[in-house]
Amino acid sequence: MRLGYHNASFHYPGTDADPVDSAVALARRVEAAGFGWFSVMDHLWQLPFVGERDEPFFDAYTMLPALARETETMELSALVTSPHYRNPAVLGRILTTLDHLSGGRAVFGVGAGWFEEEYDGYDIPFPDAETRVSHLADTVRLVRAMWTAESPIDFETDSHAVEELYLEPKPVQGPHPEVLVGGGGEQLTLKAVADLADRWNLPGGSPETFAHKSEVLAGHCETFGREFDDIERTVLQTAVVRETTDAAHEAYERLRSETAVAPPPRDEYRGLVGTPAEVTETLAQFANLGAEMVMLRAERNDPETIDALLDEVVPALR
């Protein structure tokens, strides 16, 4: 099982360095530890359960090229792109540039969009869920056509059309960067995964939830004539690691008190909150259930958690 790091916040405790420099330093550090993935959020300001709305926050597709030039091996992606924040054809060109800047390490992570507060703040229309997932699918089809068809390109979907579009050069990767669809909606999103995705990411969720969603996805794969095992299954997990279980939960509660949303109760699944041994055991459960990558998000980029992950958890998985 591979490991990735999801940089959901540009809040880095214990340093006065510029947040961009801190993100680069963190990316280099986890790459050196053997992580194969680094992602940032495609949001317009900080999410309430990750931090405060007025915290420093940077555009995903401006940040990713900077990370591409400062790293060597990790895949780079937004987790996940909204199909509504950019013209989809322009998005296809942006991703092509990222693929070249990174030497073929770009992954197109895409979702349906959900944070209505952002849409309203930036005066972006917020369609219903079915329409948003339809826009996700149309965006993937258009971008793939741009990546594979000879220029000039004519292509039309239900929601987008391009005429005599030129995209040169094509992406470094052949035939094109892989598409990761994020989300767990069983009737809409997981159908889009089965229909279109090379990879799937479940954001959060216990091993039991991951197993259930995987079963639902397998059923949709049968409907679409896809081989279930052809889709790489990944999961995103929040982590807080301490030497004792109680200390980990106390730290989690303290860190979540710095956000706009209260933490879930202790008797609910909180993610990878516990000792290094407990975190390693849960990661092994995900691997046994078919997760090919776990993307870790240290709550508030907690330095003690990052140290424990790299110094104790990663070696225990080898």
Nearest Cα residue to 213 out of 199, 223, 201: 201
Q: What's the start-to-end Cα distance of the chain, in Å?
A: 10
Q: What is the pLDDT of residues 3-26, one digit of tens each?
A: 999 999 999 999 999 999 999 999
Q: Which pLDDT value is given to residue 75?
A: 98
Q: Which two tokens stand for residue 263?
A: 């933490």
Question: 3-state DSSP call for residue 301?
Answer: helix
User: Architecture of domain 2-317 in CATH?
Assistant: Alpha-Beta Barrel (3.20)
Please tell me what DSSP assigns to residue 123. T
Alpha carbon distance 314, 318 (integer Å): 7
Q: Which pLDDT value is given to residue 97?
A: 97
Nearest Cα residue to 115 out of 157, 160, 57: 57
Query: Are 56 and 266 contacting, i.e. CB atoms less than 8 angstroms apart?
Result: no
Q: What is the pLDDT of residues 264-289, one digit of tens each?
A: 999 999 999 999 999 999 999 999 99
In the chain, % of residues over pLDDT 90: 99
Contacts of 289 (CB under 8 A, 6+ apart): 207, 210, 211, 214
Q: Which pLDDT value is given to residue 173?
A: 85
Question: 3-state DSSP call for residue 273?
Answer: strand
Query: Taking 90 as the threshold, does the pLDDT of residue 175 lie above it?
Result: no
Alpha carbon distance 23, 161 (integer Å): 37
Instruction: Tell me the domain boundaries of the chain.
Output: 2-317
Q: Which pLDDT value is given to residue 301?
A: 98
What is the rounded average pLDDT of the residues 175-187? 96
What predicted TM-score, i.e. pTM, was given to this entire model? 0.97
Alpha carbon distance 296, 26 (integer Å): 13
Contacts of 167 (CB under 8 A, 6+ apart): 92, 93, 96, 146, 147, 151, 153
Q: What is the pLDDT of residues 118-160, one digit of tens each?
A: 999 999 999 999 999 999 999 999 999 999 999 999 999 999 9
**Over the chain, what is the mean pLDDT?**
97
Q: What is the pLDDT of residues 77-112, one digit of tens each?
A: 999 999 999 999 999 999 999 999 999 999 999 999
Question: 3-state DSSP call for residue 261?
Answer: coil
